[in-house]
């Protein structure tokens, strides 16, 4: 597939060059446009959408650099960069006129400080953003906390108000997280610290979605599975809309009645999501199970022989980690060593040991021995990763 995408991008660049030499109506650039559309069409016959990502002067597709990135640096990559375009998505139904419009946009001087490109029905353009420090990932500013928290609040409000299905903003939010994590961004160690109690639920939820995505990638989930898991993670606490704020933000410990009311958010969340079309099947499962432990404890109580769904277990690990690392109404954030110890103590009780190891070693880089990650061996990291992958296949 990467060879076909490489061929399509080279055709786009050749079309742009031909347009400048001969004019846009000349047969040479027209043939290259048709070649690009035909080649992308072959790829889109197996997938509804395809995304290429501009990263460090290379064009990435399916987590690999296109072989012709150096050649594409002659025109395509600089034009994407000057317009502030850092990913391009092609969708089923792509037409030559849309490719021509895309090339027209790139050929023009950028408007609005380098952000003048716009979408067509089957070509979507996006800006991920880049932090100032080279040591930080180029994907980090994709995770614009203020924007994402605002989006999530609005989405939750729509679900609470009886909206029939999540809107495009949820898909865009999921995709920004999935893309950032899938290309290897070191986002998990740069999550937002929550200092406002009012913002806690929403910022925490975005953090959990990021951590869950990274753990899902480590387990080996497919792109579609990761997408649905992120969506489920973003909605896992939607039932808290029905929990009184005085309970959510109580600075001290909850009494028995308050604790029971808090625990109802799992049932409330599942009920909200089950009544909405367009929500993947895994979302209400995760909302219901994300506080259930693998040893049968936690809440709500599952049938005696049932283990939580793998997606629920992933969100559970991410949920507990972020809660421990975040300032809460009743305590300050814990340091990394204490968090690591708590997760290790919960291994085999609250959490699947394989997921804990993968999370500490691959996601947040807090290896269980407190130093460098352990090498794979008969009872170490690689065998546990394989076990987690096997559980995924049977989930």
| pLDDT exceeds cutoff 90 at 303 | no
Q: For residue range 75-102, list pLDDT tens digits in order.
A: 999 999 888 888 899 999 999 999 999 9
Question: 201 and 111, same structural domain?
Answer: no
Contacts with 212 (C-beta within 8 Å, 6 or more apart), sequence order: 229, 230, 233, 314, 315, 318
| Spatial contact of 290 and 310, defined as CB atoms under 8 Å apart | no
| pLDDT exceeds cutoff 60 at 197 | no
Q: Is residue 305 included in any domain, yes or no? A: yes
- Which pTM was predicted? 0.59
Question: 375 and 266, same structural domain?
Answer: yes
**Total domains in the fold of the chain:** 2
Q: For residue range 140-162, list pLDDT tens digits in order.
A: 444 455 566 666 666 776 665 55
Bigger pLDDT: 389 vs 162? 162
Question: 112 and 61, same structural domain?
Answer: yes
Domain with 34 in it: 2-126
Q: What is the mean pLDDT of the chain?
A: 78
Question: 146 and 95, same structural domain?
Answer: no
Q: Which of 47-56, 135-144, 205-214 has the highest mean pLDDT?
A: 205-214
| pLDDT exceeds cutoff 60 at 129 | no
Question: 149 and 89, same structural domain?
Answer: no
Question: 211 and 110, same structural domain?
Answer: no
Q: Is residue 151 included in any domain, yes or no? A: yes
Question: 344 and 242, same structural domain?
Answer: yes
Q: Is residue 131 included in any domain, yes or no? A: no
Bigger pLDDT: 193 vs 20? 20
Question: 193 and 97, same structural domain?
Answer: no
Q: What local confidence, expressed as pLDDT, does residue 328 receive?
A: 66
Bigger pLDDT: 370 vs 249? 249
Q: Is residue 320 included in any domain, yes or no? A: yes
Question: 222 and 300, same structural domain?
Answer: yes
Q: What local confidence, expressed as pLDDT, does residue 186 receive?
A: 55
Domain of residue 250, CATH code: 1.10.3210.10
Bigger pLDDT: 169 vs 100? 100
| pLDDT exceeds cutoff 80 at 393 | no
Stretch 217-224: mean pLDDT: 85
């Amino acid at each position: 597939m990467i060879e076909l995408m490489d061929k399509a991008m080279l055709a786009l660049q050749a079309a742009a060059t031909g347009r400048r030499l001969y004019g846009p109506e000349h047969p040479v650039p027209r043939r290259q446009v048709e070649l690009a559309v035909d080649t992308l069409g072959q790829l889109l016959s197996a997938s509804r959408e395809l995304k290429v990502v501009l990263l460090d002067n290379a064009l990435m597709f399916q987590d690999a650099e296109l072989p012709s990135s150096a050649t594409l640096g002659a025109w395509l990559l600089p034009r994407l960069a000057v317009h502030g375009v850092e990913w391009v998505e092609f969708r089923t139904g792509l037409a030559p006129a849309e490719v021509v419009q895309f090339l027209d946009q790139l050929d023009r001087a950028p408007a609005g400080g380098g952000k003048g490109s716009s979408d067509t029905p089957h070509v979507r353009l996006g800006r991920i953003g880049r932090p100032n420090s080279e040591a930080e990932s180029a994907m980090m500013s994709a995770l614009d906390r203020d924007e994402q928290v605002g989006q999530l609040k609005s989405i939750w409000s729509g679900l609470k108000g009886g909206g029939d299905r999540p809107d495009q903003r949820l898909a865009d939010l999921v995709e920004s997280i999935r893309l950032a994590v899938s290309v290897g961004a070191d986002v998990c160690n740069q999550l937002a610290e929550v200092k406002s109690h009012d913002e806690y639920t929403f910022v925490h939820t975005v953090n959990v979605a990021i951590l869950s995505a990274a753990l899902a990638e480590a387990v080996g989930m497919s792109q579609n599975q990761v997408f649905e898991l992120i969506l489920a993670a973003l909605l896992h606490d939607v039932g808290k809309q029905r929990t009184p704020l005085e309970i959510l933000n109580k600075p001290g410990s909850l009494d028995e009645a308050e604790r029971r009311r808090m625990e109802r958010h799992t049932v409330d969340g599942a009920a909200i999501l089950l009544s909405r079309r367009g929500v993947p099947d895994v979302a209400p499962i995760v909302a219901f199970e994300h506080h259930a432990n693998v040893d049968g404890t936690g809440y709500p109580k599952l049938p005696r022989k049932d283990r939580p769904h793998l997606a629920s277990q992933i969100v559970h690990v991410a949920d507990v980690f972020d809660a421990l690392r975040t300032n809460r109404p009743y305590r300050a954030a814990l340091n990394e060593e204490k968090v690591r110890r708590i997760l290790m103590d919960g291994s085999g009780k609250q959490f699947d040991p394989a997921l804990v190891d993968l999370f500490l070693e691959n996601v947040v880089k807090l290896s269980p021995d407190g130093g460098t990650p352990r090498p794979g061996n008969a009872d170490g990291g690689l065998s546990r990763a394989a076990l987690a992958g096997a559980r995924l296949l049977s989930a």
